[in-house]
């Protein structure tokens, strides 16, 4: 009997310790069943509201996928991005990557309001972003995965973090990779997650430099197909038209697939940060070729990398709070 009890003790220790190590490494322990008892309808509610929103406006899927990324790269996946300015909080919505660009906040509000009705003060805004990113991927034809849950919401925002941590479209390959590595993500994650640009739009201002003056000599980017460039110039003039919208994947813009990578092989990536994945680094170029060839491998890695990104420094336990309204901290 004593032996049996010590065996049980050993078992529980063995299962506890790896979890502790993983806690330290990942910054918190998330698991897909987190709301199974406290709010069993949570995932269904997110999915149904999102599906309606995407039906009304297909771009919403892309916009919400991007919000999770812009949240996780700043202080971890803690919904800091969703806070409006007030009191001592300066909203991340005004940062360079987000200003006139990040969108979909009203859909998150709608989801949060429905969840507060069903299970008050239970489901975090950070988890809503993670679930919505997965559902956006699925709704547009991409892979699915179980979303680890249990994130809590931040008590503050970081405008400087938003400006500095989120890669810019004209950053060099090395700078972009370094910004990913600072978040614990690697080259494989960078290439796979960039595949998000298989859906959604970019504004003219985000890639104009490539069309007119890529390296300061008044010429367009040599790694941009010249016919494609000429077409882009018709709606993205030298000056003006900053907000004009262009598909990130001009071939299948609303469908989540590996066409994005096929475009890169043809020098038809829209952003500089897209094309450099194929032109500036051998290892990265090999991955681009692999994903262009094998949609199944792209989907598999995309799901893995999304889970990894979703694990960036979450607030768990008693850190942070469950916001009642994603736009402000609780009174
Ligand atoms: C690798 C570095 C990345 C850079 C430099 C970058 C940059 C950009 C830029 C400049 C835009 C267009 C914004 C505008 O003009 O308003 C954009 C759109 C988008 N990005 Fe990224 N991005 C990166 C990685 C990612 C990742 C990791 C994800 C998701 C996991 C993502 C998802 C999206 C989506 C879905 C859109 C379209 C949004 C919409 O139509 O509303 N991006 N990105």
110, 52 Cβ separation under 8 angstroms: no
118 CA from centroid of ligand 1 (Å): 33
Q: Identify the bridge partners of residue 149 per DSSP, sorted by sequence position.
A: 31
As a whole number of Å, the CA-based R_g of the chain is 21
Average pLDDT, stretch 231-250? 98
For residues 204 and 82, membership in a common domain is answered with: no
For residues 124 and 211, membership in a common domain is answered with: no
Structural domain count, the chain: 2
- The dihedrals phi and psi of 86, each to the nearest 5 degrees, come to -175, 145
320 CA from centroid of ligand 1 (Å): 27
Biggest CA pair distance of the chain: 83
For residues 112 and 191, membership in a common domain is answered with: no
2 pLDDT band, cuts 50/70/90, is very low
206 CA from centroid of ligand 1 (Å): 10
Instruction: Tell the residue nearest (CA) to atom 27 of ligand 1.
Output: 193
For residues 122 and 224, membership in a common domain is answered with: no
For residues 112 and 204, membership in a common domain is answered with: no
Q: Considering the domain boundaries, does residue 80 fall inside one?
A: yes
Domain end point (choices 166, 195, 210):
166
157 pLDDT band, cuts 50/70/90, is very high
Average pLDDT value over all residues in the chain: 93
Query: Of 15-19, 149-153, 257-261, 262-266, where does mean pLDDT reach its minimum?
Result: 15-19
For residues 125 and 179, membership in a common domain is answered with: no
Domain end point (choices 151, 166, 181):
166
Q: Considering the domain boundaries, does residue 190 fall inside one?
A: yes
pTM score, two decimals? 0.93
pLDDT at 133: 99
pLDDT at 75: 98
Q: 202: Cβ–Cβ under 8 A, 6 or more apart, which residues?
A: 169, 245, 246, 248, 270, 271
Average pLDDT, stretch 205-216? 96
Does the annotation list 127 as a binding residue?
A: no
Q: Tell me, what CATH number does 73's domain have? A: 1.10.520.10
Q: Considering the domain boundaries, does residue 237 fall inside one?
A: yes
For residues 207 and 149, membership in a common domain is answered with: no
Q: Tell me, what CATH number does 231's domain have? A: 1.10.420.10
pLDDT in tens, 4-43: 333 333 334 333 333 333 443 444 599 999 999 999 999 9
Query: Of 9-23, 233-247, 316-330, where does mean pLDDT reach its minimum?
Result: 9-23
Which residue segment(s) compose the domain that 291 sits in?
Answer: 173-309
In DSSP notation, 81-125 reads: GGPPPBTTB--GGGSTTTTTT---HHHHHHHHHHHHHHSTTTS-H
Q: Considering the domain boundaries, does residue 315 fall inside one?
A: no
Q: Identify the bridge partners of residue 247 per DSSP, sorted by sequence position.
A: 201
Q: Considering the domain boundaries, does residue 86 fall inside one?
A: yes
Instruction: Encode 129-192 in three state secondary structure.
Output: HHHHHHHHHHHCCCCCCCCCECCEECCCCCHHHHHHHCCCCCCCHHHHHHHHHCCCCCHHHHHH
pLDDT at 19: 37
**pLDDT of 1 strictly over 70:** no
pLDDT in tens, 53-62: 999 999 999 9
Domain end point (choices 122, 139, 166):
166
Instruction: Tell the residue nearest (CA) to atom 40 of ligand 1.
Output: 200
Does the annotation list 71 as a binding residue?
A: yes
Which residue of 202, 301, 303 sits with most ligand 1 atoms within 8 Å of its CB, as the best mutation to test the pocket?
202
pLDDT in tens, 267-295: 999 999 999 999 999 999 999 999 999 99
The span from the CA of 296 to the CA of 315, in Å, is: 33
């Amino acid at each position: 009997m004593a032996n049996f009890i010590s065996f049980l003790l050993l078992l529980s220790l063995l299962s506890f310790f790896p979890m502790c190590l993983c806690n330290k490494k990942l910054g918190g322990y998330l698991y897909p069943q987190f709301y199974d008892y406290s709010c069993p309808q949570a995932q269904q509610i997110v999915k149904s509201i999102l599906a309606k929103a995407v039906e009304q406006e297909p771009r919403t899927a892309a916009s919400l996928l991007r919000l999770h990324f812009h949240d996780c790269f700043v202080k971890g996946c803690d919904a800091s991005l969703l806070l409006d300015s007030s009191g001592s909080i300066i909203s991340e919505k005004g940062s360079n990557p987000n200003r006139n660009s990040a969108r979909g906040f009203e859909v998150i509000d709608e989801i949060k309001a429905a969840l507060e009705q069903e299970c008050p003060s239970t489901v975090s805004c950070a988890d809503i972003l993670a679930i919505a990113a997965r559902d956006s991927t699925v709704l547009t034809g991409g892979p699915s995965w179980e979303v680890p849950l249990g994130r809590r919401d931040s008590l503050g925002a970081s405008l400087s973090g938003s400006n500095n941590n989120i890669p810019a479209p004209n950053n060099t390959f090395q700078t972009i990779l370094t910004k990913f590595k600072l978040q614990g993500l690697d080259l494989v994650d960078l290439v796979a997650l960039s595949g998000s640009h298989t859906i959604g739009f970019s504004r003219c201002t985000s890639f104009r430099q490539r069309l007119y003056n890529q390296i300061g000599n008044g010429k367009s980017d040599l790694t941009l197909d010249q016919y494609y460039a000429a077409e882009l110039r018709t709606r993205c003039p030298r000056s003006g038209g900053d907000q004009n919208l262009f598909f990130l994947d001009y071939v299948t813009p609303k469908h989540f697939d590996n066409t994005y990578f096929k475009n890169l092989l043809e020098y038809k990536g829209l952003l500089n940060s897209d094309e450099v994945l194929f032109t500036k680094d051998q290892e990265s170029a090999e991955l681009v070729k692999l994903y262009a060839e094998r949609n199944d491998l792209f989907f598999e890695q995309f799901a893995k990398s999304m889970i990894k990104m979703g694990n960036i420094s979450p607030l768990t336990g008693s850190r942070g709070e469950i916001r009642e309204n994603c736009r402000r901290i609780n009174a």
